[in-house]
Structure 1
Amino acid sequence: MIYRFRIILDNDTEDDIFRDIEIRETDSLEDLHNTITQSFGFNGLEMASFYISNDEWDQGEEISMFDVSEGHASVRLMSETTLSDVVHESQTKLIYIYDFMSMWTFLVELAEIVEEAEGTDYPNLMFVHGQIPDTAPEKAFEAENFDDLGSEFDDGLDIDDYDNLDFDENWN
């Protein structure tokens, strides 16, 4: 079967920037990663991860390019994970982050599952809309997100009151 995805650049502008692609359900997430980077004009040399997502686009389990956990935890790898392992009729959304320094963020949604068309090479870039900007869109963090931290991080110290801080600022 062939999965048809819409990959949308997550930006806060009015400009929609997306690509529609077709790819075999048996291809790996690494194949999808390569297709996304090529379709948006990236060189594909930066680190990237997919995250399983729910209908509200909440970030779930990470599926990484490389295992950088140094044995501390088990990590799912793109090269070892087929599309059909993580995407199907009841689980249609992934978040894709490319280049963790720039944080290019894409919303990946399974739009349709179709039969393979004879004479078509897959993966297949079906449709291109919008041009990717020179730099990744800035993410706006709302203040209410930080209010949820509560008093857990409120230590009562005034960082600007050096005389009452419990350390020697000239220690070295």
Structure 2
Amino acid sequence: MIYRFRAILDTKEDVFRDIEIEASSTMEDFHNAITQAFGFAGQEMASFYVSNEIWEQGEEIALFDMGEDGDSVRTMSETILEDTVWADQPRLLYVYDFLSMWTFMVELAEITDPEPGMPYPNLMFSHGEIPEQAPEKEFIAEKIDGEGNIDDDDDDFDLDADDYEDLDFDENWN
């Protein structure tokens, strides 16, 4: 079977690659296909993370096992793609170069039969130019209400940072 994936760079601009790969390939083969499709040298650390429908980071599948004291993780070279991704579990997060944090949302788009004579992996489609530097990440803490739902009400405090008169402290306290 052939898996068709879309790997989307987490950036404001649309930058993605559509990649075909054999379902029996290793996650390391898939890592190599993604790095080549985006023009990376492939010499940096990387990990896949199993993800859910809202792109939460789950179990890690690392390029190398860096665990200590028996805390090992699954490695890409020992993990088969079809054992990690399937129709009901189609999403992965992929992080390349932990210093720069190139982050990709990878989703299984289709499972199909191989085309005779087609070499795999195969870059099917390329859209957008990868920026010179990894996009900056904006980490925003989300408030969770008592029922475990995200609380979008940002008017809880309604403070103006420039209005010191309403604050209950002396601004020259030291």
In 2: Cα distance, 1:4 partner to 1:144 partner: 33
Could you list the runs of 5+ residues in structure 1 that have no partner in the other structure? 146-172
Structure 1 residues 26 and 143, CA, compared in 2 at 3 Å: closer, same or farther?
Answer: closer
Shift of 1:112: 0.1
The C-alpha deviation readout for 1:47-94, integer Å capped at 9, x for no partner, is: 000000000000000000111112341210000000001000100000
Partner of 1:2: 2
Partner of 1:110: 108
Q: How is 1:30-109 mapped onto 2 (pairs within 5 angstroms)?
A: 30-109=28-107
Secondary structure, counterpart of 1:30 in structure 2: helix
In 2: Cα distance, 1:144 partner to 1:110 partner: 28
Structure 2: which amino acid aligns with 1:9?
L
The C-alpha deviation readout for 1:97-117, integer Å capped at 9, x for no partner, is: 000000000000000000010
Could you list the runs of 5+ residues in structure 2 that have no partner in the other structure? 144-174
In 2: Cα distance, 1:132 partner to 1:76 partner: 29
In 1: Cα distance, 2:62 partner to 2:108 partner: 20
Among the aligned pairs, what percent are the same residue? 62
Secondary structure, counterpart of 2:137 in structure 1: coil
Please say if residues 66 and 72 of structure 2, whose CA atoms lie closer than 8 Å, have aligned partners that are also in contact.
no
In 1: Cα distance, 2:69 partner to 2:61 partner: 15
In 2: Cα distance, 1:60 partner to 1:25 partner: 21
Structure 2: which amino acid aligns with 1:31?
D
Write 1 or 2 for the structure with the bigger share of helix: 1
Runs of at least 4 residues off by over 6 Å: none
Shift of 1:141: 1.2
In 1: Cα distance, 2:78 partner to 2:70 partner: 19
In 2: Cα distance, 1:9 partner to 1:43 partner: 16
In 1: Cα distance, 2:137 partner to 2:56 partner: 15
In 1: Cα distance, 2:110 partner to 2:142 partner: 36
Shift of 1:143: 4.4
In 2: Cα distance, 1:9 partner to 1:133 partner: 10
Partner of 1:133: 131
Secondary structure, counterpart of 1:38 in structure 2: helix
